[in-house]
Amino acid sequence: MKSNKPIKVLFLIFSGTFTLLLILFYPLLLDGWKLWKASRKINREIEVTKRLYRQDIYGGKTPEETLDLFIKALESGNLDLAAKYFVLEKQDEARAMLQEVKEIKNILDTLKEARMNWKRDTTIIPSDTYVRFVYKSSTNKESKAFINMNGKLLPTSVPAGTLEESFIDFRLNPESKVWKIVAL
């Protein structure tokens, strides 16, 4: 009768080596699994964002057309539509800001004046997908304005007679190819 001892020894050596390798490399396997799961989640979020951008049709073929559409929405009193001309990530903030403003007429007057005398700012990085227009405006009475501080629009008072240089930034939506307002 043949002895199974060599097979048992080989089995013990193999299973011991496998267990040792599993213990040593388990953290790497676990990290790899977590990385794979995180990567899948990020890819799903990217696809959702791309779909939202493809569906975002509010804007013009040019920055000027987008501003004109924004002004028309304000003139008609449709603040929800006006907010849709902002980039997706700022639409809720823009809607809240527009609803907070008591005198939409002041904003309209400023934007119409800006539209007549604005100039493309060439000091920022030239880009086919991002544009800044600069304009000067003055106030004939104290008014409320919004300052962009680290991406948040904060209300402030502007004294009468103040001449200030302001800007309007636009960004091209890469999926739907319409221009969106980034900042007023």
For the entire predicted model, the pTM comes to: 0.67
Which phi and psi angles does 146 have, rounded to 5°? -125, 130
Which two structure tokens, joined as six digits, stand for 163? 């001449």
Q: What band does 101 get if pLDDT is binned at 50, 70 and 90? A: confident
* Sequence ranges of the domains in the chain: 1-55, 60-183
Query: Has residue 1 got a pLDDT over 60?
Result: no
Per-residue pLDDT of 31-45, as tens digits, reads: 877 888 888 899 898
Residue with tokens 């990020």: 42
Specify the 3-state DSSP secondary structure of 128.
coil
Give the type of residue at 14.
F
d(CA 181, CA 30): 44
Which residue, 127, 114, 125, is CA-closest to 165? 114
The pLDDT value recorded for residue 35 is 84
- Greater confidence (23 vs 147) lies with 23
Cβ atoms within 10 Å of 98's Cβ, excluding its own: 18
Which residue, 104, 52, 113, is CA-closest to 79? 104
Per-residue pLDDT of 132-167, as tens digits, reads: 888 876 666 676 666 777 777 777 777 777 667 788
The residues facing 164 across adjacent strands are 137
